Amino acid sequence: MPDTNQSGTAELIIDGRRYQLPILEGVEGDRAIDIRGLLKDTGYTVFDTGYKNSASCSSTITYLDGNKGLLLYRGYAIEDLAARCLFIEVAYLLLHNKLPNREELESFRTLLEQHALIHEDMIHFFDKFPPNASPMSILSVMVNSLHNFYPEMSDDPLKNIDMTASRLISKIRTIAAFSYKKSIGQPLVYPRNDLSYCGNFLNMMFDTPVRPYIVLPEVVAVLNKLLILHADHEQNCSTSAVRLVGSAGGNLYSSISAGINALWGPLHGGANEAVIQMLEAIHADNNDYKKYIAKAKDRNDPFRLSGFGHRVYKTFDPRGTIIKEACDEILSLLNVRDPLLEIALNLEEIVLNDPFFVDRNLYPNIDFYSGIIYRALGIPTNMFTVMFALGRLPGWIAQWREMREDPETKIYRPRQIYIGSPPRKFVPLGERT
């Protein structure tokens, strides 16, 4: 387990008996009451729906402070990484706990180039999905199937982890781009070693035999930034799913597939898609955004503003601030006139200045503008969550590796409070009424 310091004890009194529970403190002052011995010592468990108050692990990877709007990867501020790094640099950082030097970065880049292709037999898998299949379902299946083509992890999951991590990070963009090409009936575009990681993905998505795609460095830069902002975010739903499957001994491929499926949920990775759907609904309703502001304030109306607020952040999402600037820049560069952008700007101005929303800490989050950027780049709405997965993959791998290397890891096994029937006498079929 990564180092934690005991900074005192908490006293728990049950039925007149006193129990001393250690208080653990992280490097940034975050504190937790250690209840690992609670059931054994007292016979009691804790009840925490959704684990809102429970730390499932200690970690060296990501730190966030929702009250200060602070996000760190391996100790580095997200603002610095997004402004000054390539996505593959951040991926290396998450995997190795250090930013790469030039030699290490070049070696990592070479590994990604070597593993960009997928096995030709896997290409036939795409033909078996119906044309309207969700790209996320395809991504999950294809990632899980990689284990059958590269089974070397079975004996020692950590022995070839660097090779496996590089393979996954490289191949997932190929799988994602191929799934899109298949869905629109266009020929597949294979990866090229002369293009960058993000440039390669864009080319595989949009190049055609009749209209070659021009890889603009400014577009590559904004995609790098988007992927960096999504690269990790502590113990969220999908990351917890990766750790949970991995805790049972699941291989990296199956664990990542579980993370993809968790991310697929509309309350998690589907949030940026929900923003676009909301903006489109307002646009179809004569751009009457004030009507939807009123609906959001109405307690009896189920409508909620998508892209505002966050379960963890109680102030600005630092990623939201970065991505808004990126959105303004790329729309100006590409000369995009997106009617949804004006609606988004109007919503943001009202929300940031209305006490109703300010008092509830409903600030724009990362999902609010990311969908608009993806639209500007030509990425369809049903691929938004796939883009999220591409960015989050290095974080998932780092979390899985940390979990497997921690000698204190136990198979995840939450407890429950049973509220069903008490013991009942069995009644034979012929006697039941």
Asked if residues 12 and 19 have their Cβ atoms less than 8 Å apart, the reply is yes
Is 310 noted as a catalytic residue in this protein? Answer: yes
Tell me the CA end-to-end span of the chain in Å, nearest whole number. Answer: 56
Which 3 state secondary structure label does DSSP give 5? strand
Which 3 state secondary structure label does DSSP give 62? strand
Supply 180's token pair: 């899109």
Is 96 noted as a catalytic residue in this protein? Answer: no
403 Cβ contact list (under 8 Å, min separation 6): 57, 243, 246, 247, 409
| Distance (Å, whole) CA 130 – CA 69 | 43
Cα–Cα distances in angstroms (integers) from residue 137 to residues 18, 148, 187, 201, 265, in the given order: 51, 18, 21, 19, 11
Selecting among 207, 232, 317, 367, the annotated active-site residue is 367
Write the Ramachandran bin of 214: left for phi over 0, alpha for psi from -120 to 50, otherwise beta: beta
Edge-first strand listing for the sheet containing 76-77: 62-65, 70-73, 76-77
Selecting among 162, 310, 328, 354, the annotated active-site residue is 310
Q: What is the DSSP string of 178-230?
A: HHHHHHTTPPP----TTS-HHHHHHHHHH--SSSPPP--HHHHHHHHHHHHHT
Q: What is the DSSP string of 145-167?
A: HHHHH-GGGTT-TTTTHHHHHHH
| Distance (Å, whole) CA 223 – CA 17 | 57
H/E stretch holding 25: strand 17-25
| Distance (Å, whole) CA 214 – CA 202 | 9
Sign of the alpha-carbon dihedral angle for 193, 263, 145, 178: negative
CA 144 to chain centre: 18
| Distance (Å, whole) CA 345 – CA 361 | 18
The catalytic residues are: 310, 367
